[in-house]
Amino acid sequence: MANPEQPQIYLISPPQLDIDSFPDRFASVLDRVEVACARLSLASRDETEIARAADALREVAHARDVPLVIEDHMMMVERLGLDGVHLCDGARAVRKSRKTLGRDAIVGAFCGASRHDGMNAGEAGADYVSFGPVGPTALGDGSMAPPELFAWWSEMIELPVVAEGVLDGDSARRMSRLADFLAFGEEIWRHDDPAARLKKLVRAFA
């Protein structure tokens, strides 16, 4: 059956951030909205830049007992004192990540709109899978993860599922009945007051 409980919030960093100002914006959101997990998701592949951002956001997140995972850079998790990794290639690297990082690390997998990839990720040891985008987008081939996928997953699979990508008030309300976590990133960071925007989105399904 559909998820009867209110979903938890999963926060995604913007792909580019100002290391001098963003930690305060990040802290403001964590102080005003209950967040279950946060993800560092930078477009940059510069390890120095990633490490600086990770250090700053880890300090903010851990001070508030919020785990921080990093997107794809599995080999940086332990060195940067992070809580795990979010893999963007489905199930491909889940088993290796679990073996490398150990049982206590968080390992998540983005599986697009593929039920098959999600099931493989779960079998390989993922702690959660995410599907998306759940809203229309010009990115990629424009395909979306339909509500039916989340409904099937919630009924058949115990592994937590995250809905992410182009969430607005309507889609958040719809997905709140089907997903364990709703992930918000650019949907809030492009606003002057991201915490207020997130609170408004939460009110749409609370």
Cα 94 to Cα 39, 44, 101, 102, distances in angstroms: 17, 22, 10, 11
Residue 1 lies in a domain: no
Q: What is the pLDDT of residue 140?
A: 62
Q: What is the pLDDT of residue 93?
A: 97
- Model pLDDT for residues 125-168, shown as the tens digit of each residue: 999 999 999 988 766 666 899 999 999 999 999 999 999 998 99
Residue 47: CATH number of its domain: 3.20.20.70
Residue 156 lies in a domain: yes
Classify residue 157 by burial, with Cβ atoms within 10 Å: 0-12, 13-18, 19+: middle
Residue 148 lies in a domain: yes
Q: Domain span at residue 103?
A: 8-205
- SS3 for 45? coil
Q: What is the pLDDT of residue 110?
A: 97
Residue 162 lies in a domain: yes
Residue 183 has a CB neighbour count (10 Å cut-off) of 26
Residue ranges in the chain whose pLDDT is less than 70:
1-4, 138-142
Q: What is the pLDDT of residue 138?
A: 63
Residue 67 lies in a domain: yes
Residue 3 lies in a domain: no
Cβ-based neighbours of 141, under 8 Å, separated by 6 or more: none
Residue 125 lies in a domain: yes
Q: What is the pLDDT of residue 5?
A: 76
Residue 152 lies in a domain: yes
Structural domains in the chain (count): 1
